[in-house]
């Protein structure tokens, strides 16, 4: 059975977050809130944990997952190149609902890249998610807390029991805001392209 911590989203208990981060560092799967829906997190460089995550969701190996980072400095572990325009977008929109696709370093797991040579990253606008990444000490995955093809969940009650039982730790912060997912912007080549419309309008990013 997973450890379950009830978290006040306005004043989260740091001891609970430290315990959840310790579980992640040991290779566990954490269920945590974000500024939209609940997400699932494992360490980006733990292949065994990534395999467990994909198996728990029933997710295809060719469908990559994005990463949450705690600062732009973490991109040095993930990409060989950050274009100045992308750095400017990060400065403006992070923390927030903008996921950028960068060129991936070659050693990154195909579970993260889908063998497409790109890695999606953002800094979450949710203080619980952001602190969890900081305490984990490395980027963690952020994929919806659902079975593959199922709806995103804004509360624990909406998450299938068969998925919950595969978690190692659950951070229950009540209902999350829901709404639109993060906007997905490919910054691997000029001109940048919007891969998925989301919470930030493409015109705000591309200057239309």
Considering only residues 181 and 87, tell me which one the structure prediction assigns the higher pLDDT: 87
Instruction: Please name the residue ranges forming H helices in 119-196.
Output: 127-136, 161-164
How many angstroms from the chain centroid is the CA of residue 13?
Answer: 21
Per-residue pLDDT, 194? 95
Kindly tell me if the per-residue pLDDT of 3 is higher than 70: yes
Helix axes 127-136, 14-25, angle to 10 degrees: 50
Average pLDDT over every residue of 76-83: 96
Kindly tell me if the per-residue pLDDT of 208 is higher than 80: no
> Measured at the alpha carbon of residue 152, what is the angle toward residues 151 and 155, in degrees to the nearest 5?
120
Question: Which pTM does this prediction carry?
Answer: 0.95
Instruction: Please name the residue ranges forming H helices in the chain.
Output: 14-25, 47-57, 84-93, 110-113, 127-136, 161-164, 202-206
Per-residue pLDDT, 85? 95
Tell me the average pLDDT of the chain.
Answer: 95
> What domains appear along the chain, each with residue ranges and CATH number?
3-206 (3.90.870.10)
CB atoms under 10 Å from CB of 106, counted, come to 8
Per-residue pLDDT, 1? 85
Per-residue pLDDT, 206? 81
**Residue 167, CA distances (Å) to 29, 49, 174 in order:** 5, 11, 17
Kindly tell me if the per-residue pLDDT of 76 is higher than 90: yes
Per-residue pLDDT, 38? 96
The order of strands in the sheet holding 183-186 is 3-6, 169-172, 30-33, 38-41, 140-144, 66-68, 118-122, 98-103, 183-186, 193-196
Per-residue pLDDT, 203? 86
């Amino acid at each position: 059975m997973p450890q379950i911590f009830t978290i006040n989203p306005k004043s989260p208990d740091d001891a609970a977050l430290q315990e959840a981060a310790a579980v992640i560092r040991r290779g566990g799967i954490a269920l945590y809130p974000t500024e939209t829906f609940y997400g699932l997190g494992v360490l980006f460089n733990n292949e065994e944990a990534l395999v467990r995550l994909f198996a728990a969701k029933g997710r295809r190996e060719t469908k990559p997952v994005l990463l949450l980072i705690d600062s732009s400095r973490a991109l040095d572990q993930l990409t060989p190149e950050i274009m100045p325009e992308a750095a400017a977008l990060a400065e403006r929109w992070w923390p927030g609902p903008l996921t950028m696709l960068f060129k991936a370093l070659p050693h990154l797991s195909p579970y993260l890249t889908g063998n497409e040579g790109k890695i999606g990253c953002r800094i979450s606008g949710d203080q619980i998610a952001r602190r969890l990444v900081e305490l984990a000490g490395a980027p963690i995955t952020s994929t919806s807390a659902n079975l593959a093809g199922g709806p995103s969940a804004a509360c624990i009650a909406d998450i299938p029991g068969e998925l919950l039982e595969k978690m190692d730790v659950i951070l229950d912060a009540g209902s999350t805001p829901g709404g639109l997912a993060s906007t997905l912007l490919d910054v691997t080549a000029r001109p940048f392209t919007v891969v998925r419309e989301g919470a930030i309008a493409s015109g705000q990013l591309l200057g239309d």
